[in-house]
Structure 1
Amino acid sequence: MNIKDEHAPYRHEGRTRMSHEHWMRRTALLQAVLAMGLALLLCLSTFSARAQTNPDLKALVDHLKFVIPDETALVDPQQLERFVAQYQKRAAAAGLRDIDRQTAYVLVALYTSGKGVERPEFKKVMEHPPASADEFSDAMIGLPQSVYDSGTPLWDNSAYAKGR
């Protein structure tokens, strides 16, 4: 008994043809796959472009180079940017959206190769960070010396320093 599947390809005049419904399903699937692929490419290119041209990151790095020019000159530029990006994200996650408070936060990280921001004293300040830039800066300056002694400055850290 030969029962013809209405969705299977059929032969007509010596050629194999697909039913209209079968063809529409295949093209719909192809369109969906293409759309997902394009969406993925768009996401990846947007992420890559943002990572390379993040204006907030560039502004923060430039500001740090202005504030501590001699020290930042001793750090490999790409390493400096990656380090600053990491701690800028942490600062933003803690609610610090302005460049002045982010600068003070990242300065602690730079002066301790990131170890200072892990100290309990620092974390206590970050539980309720001061809203004004001046108060936040004063809080960072007022941290105990043990916070600043917890790690070496980034420019003295061989993993980040420029070849001298």
Structure 2
Amino acid sequence: MRIGMGYDVHRLVDGRRLILGGVDIPFEKGLLGHSDADALTHAICDALLGAAALGDIGQHFPDTDTKYKGIDSIELLKHCLRLVRAEGYILVNLDATVMAQAPKLSPYKERMRQTLAAALECNITQISVKATTTERLGYIGAGEGIAAMCIVLIE
């Protein structure tokens, strides 16, 4: 059994869609990034890659490569899963937390779990997604960005 941890953060900006865990969330701002900037899915990718000692998301999908411009991060996650499986591992479970002052994410957590479970080809009971604010502290609390962290267990 191996454990991996992932973290990602993106700035909130006007003119972008807000996508977290593969779910399009109605909000006046979205996350800035080379791909669709799905911070939750990126954190999961890094956790999976880290658990299998396969590097990190930037190594596999560099933001200097135009083929990843605007890519759906769920596709990146599926690729990471294939890499982990090629090493002989399976996902036991993942536990993720999204940190955002706004919007409220509770109405979307179950859909995130469903989307992530489908992408990871696992049972939804293996996926935990939580959301919290930072009580208006720091750049997240000021509404300037959204961060996500994730821990996975593979065997």
Same fold (TM over 0.5): no
Relative to the length of structure 1, the TM-score reads 0.28
Greater share of residues in helix: 1
Q: Which has the higher contact order (CA 8 A, sep 6+)?
A: 2
Relative to the length of structure 2, the TM-score reads 0.29
Structure whose alpha-carbon radius of gyration is higher: 1
Greater share of residues in strand: 2
